[in-house]
Amino acid sequence: MRENLDVITLRGLSAVGHHGVYDFERSGSQVFSADLTLYVDARQAALTDDVKYTVDYSQIAEDAVKILTGTPVYLLETLAQRLVDAALAYTQVQAVEVTVHKPMAPVRHQFSDVSVTLRRDRTEDAPEPEVSRVVLALGSNMGDSTGILRNAVSALIEVPGLELDEVSSLYRTRPVLEPGMASQNDYENAVVLARTVLTPHELLKTLQDIENRCGRRRTERWGARTLDIDIVDFGGRTLTTSDLTLPHPRAGERAFVLVPWSEVDPQARLTDGRGVATAAAMAPDRQGITDTIADWLSEEQPSQAMPQPQSEESPQSVPELPKRSRRSRRDDRKDSPVQESPSQQQASAEPQQGQPVAVRAEPVPQWEPRENVRIVDSDDPEDATVQPRPLGSRVARRAVIRPTPTGSISLPRGTQSDSGSQ
Ligand SMILES: Nc1ncnc2c1ncn2[C@@H]1O[C@H](COP(=O)(O)OP(=O)(O)OP(=O)(O)O)[C@@H](O)[C@H]1O
Ligand SMILES: Nc1nc2c(c(=O)[nH]1)N=C(CO)CN2
């Protein structure tokens, strides 16, 4: 298998750990280092210049250092196996060779190093990839938001290793802003339930890539945006890193997330034990939901909202299309945001409406109904098994298993290794 694959090597990754058979090794510390050889199919990455088609060696290094410095094990073999498992958790890694060095090992004679090397192929030895249920919150209040969100769903469907299970209705919502912020257009929000074999950071990167391809620019926190996709929940995991917090720290206070979430998963719970519907009813912005559009994905015509590929040198405006929801809106005012005092400050922003938006090379696929997309119609007796939607909506949803560019990901249908709720 390896002879047909490309090779990424990371050598001499060193960290201080506490591994060893002897008590003094576990109470003390010494240097461990690792060499990792990752076998991938890098053709697509080389062609597109896009890291999502290969493996990010800096992420692998982060994971490896956590293992080297983490929970002590007795054997170098075990340590190496953990590194193997971490590397093979990246779906693009087809095979791996890991050497762990312990140059200060307790050997009573002159020596320069002791090491253990493991070689593993995904097909032979890799454990089934862990499948996590994820909750994604989508929002847009710039440009043709419905079209952009439709294209975002289409782009999510294209993501290798991500399988969409449910897409909520589209909710038109008042912007939730910090006190003093200038008024913005109303948002359109939706929630997507999916399963993934990606790691949380792989998923974050993928989502940010889709945001960027939709013209997202970040200069002001909570600024107007063409597209925002937040990871609300990742298999119930709790994680705090510099660029990712799980579950999303503000989702539990936001009706624009909780209402669509409770629509597609009425049983879901937050980490504090509250049901999402209960939390939605308590959310400060609960009055800010002004409209619900159930069949928003079943638009006959593909949206024209997304620009075609352009280089950054030739930015193109995202057209401001007048097309909005086909449903009537209770109120079209743009200047009555729901005020919220956020607990964390982050930098983000977008160009103002009408300003040119530079678009990255790869286009977001345009939404179009496909054969393998089933639109669930609660009025159709064949769909009678679908659980009732609290908001009486007809919800478009789909499920598709998509292979990686190398054809290697298997995302077993119905596999459930994490709870979908927090
Ligand atoms: N759970 C998460 N989902 C998405 N992004 C996250 C998450 N946790 C942390 N982040 C980080 O937050 C940064 C800012 O994200 P973004 O610009 O979408 O924030 P925002 O939408 O303005 O605010 P908010 O996070 O309150 O919705 C991102 O660069 C990302 O690294
Ligand atoms: N109604 C609404 N308000 C918001 C939204 C959003 O998606 N919908 N997103 C924000 C930052 O992520 C800030 N405020």
DSSP result, 179-201: TTPPP-PPEEEEEEEEEESS-HH
* Mean pLDDT to the nearest integer, 73-83: 95
Q: Which three-class secondary structure state does DSSP give residue 225?
A: coil
What spacing in Å lies between the alpha carbon of 256 and ligand 2's midpoint? Answer: 7
Nearest CA to ligand 2 atom 12: 222
Predicted pLDDT of residue 41: 94
132-383 under CATH 3.30.70.560, yes or no: yes
The amino acid at residue 23 is: D
Q: How far apart are CA 100 and CA 158, in angstroms?
A: 37
How far is the C-alpha of 16 from the C-alpha of 30, rounded, in Å? 5
| CA pair distance 284, 342, nearest whole angstrom | 12
- Band (283; pLDDT cuts 50, 70, 90): very high
222 touches ligand 2 (CB under 6 Å): yes
| Residue 251, C-beta contacts closer than 8 angstroms, at least 6 positions apart | 137, 230, 232, 233, 257, 258, 261
Check pocket membership of 176 for ligand 2, CB cut-off 6 A. Answer: yes
Position 310 pLDDT exceeds 50: no
Tokens 């909202």 sit on residue:
305
DSSP count for the chain of H helices, then E strands: 9, 14
State the pLDDT at residue 337: 58
When pLDDT is averaged across residues 11-28 and rounded to a whole number, the result is 95
Q: What is the pLDDT of residue 171?
A: 98
Q: Does the annotation mark 102 as catalytic?
A: yes
Q: Is a pLDDT exceeding 70 seen at residue 378?
A: no
Which-ligand-closest: CA of 258?
2
* 74 C-alpha to ligand 1 centroid (Å): 39
- Per-residue pLDDT tens over the stretch 81-94: 999 999 998 989 99
Q: Is the pLDDT of residue 309 over 70?
A: no
Dihedral sign of CA atoms 81, 82, 84, 85 in order: positive
Domain spans, the chain: 2-125, 132-383
Q: What is the pLDDT of residue 196?
A: 94
pLDDT reading at 419 higher than 80: no
Which of the ligands is closest to the CA of residue 337?
Answer: 2
| Class of domain 2-125 as given by CATH | alpha beta
> Is the C-beta atom of 189 inside 6 A of ligand 2?
yes
ipTM over 0.85: yes
DSSP string for 24-72: HHHHS-EEEEEEEEEEE--HHHHHHT-GGGS--HHHHHHHHHHHHHSS-
Pocket of ligand 1 (CB under 6 A): 204, 218, 221-222, 228, 230-231, 243-246, 248, 250, 346, 348
- Please work out whether the CB of residue 173 comes within 6 Å of at least one atom of ligand 2: yes
Pocket test for ligand 1, best of 212, 248, 261 (most atoms within 8 A of CB): 248
Q: Pick the closest to residue 260 from 192, 211, 339 (CA basis).
A: 192
Helix axes 76-88, 57-69, angle to 10 degrees: 150
Element (H, E) at 259: helix 255-264
Q: Is the predicted pLDDT of residue 125 greater than 70, yes or no?
A: no
CA distance 65 to 209: 26
Q: Which of 101-110, 254-263, 331-340, 378-387 has the lowest mean pLDDT?
A: 378-387
The confidence band for 223, taking pLDDT boundaries of 50, 70 and 90, is: confident
Query: Highest mean pLDDT range out of 113-127, 236-250, 405-419?
Result: 236-250
pLDDT band at residue 275 under the 50/70/90 scheme: very high
Query: What integer pLDDT is reported at residue 181 of this predicted model?
Result: 87
Average pLDDT, whole number, for the chain?
A: 76
pTM passes above 0.80: no
Nearest CA to ligand 1 atom 4: 230
Using the predicted structure, report yes or no on whether residue 168 has a pLDDT greater than 70: yes
Of the candidate ranges 19-23, 157-161, 296-300, 339-343, the one whose mean pLDDT is the lowest: 339-343
Pairing of strands 170-173, 289-293: antiparallel
Q: Which of 66, 102, 205, 323 is catalytic?
A: 102
> Considering every ligand atom, which ligand is closest to the CA of 200?
1
Backbone angles phi, psi at 171, to 5 degrees: -115, 130
C-beta of 142 in contact with ligand 2 (< 6 A): no
User: From the alpha carbon of 246, which atom of ligand 1 is closest?
Assistant: 1
CA 172 / ligand 2 centre spacing (Å): 11
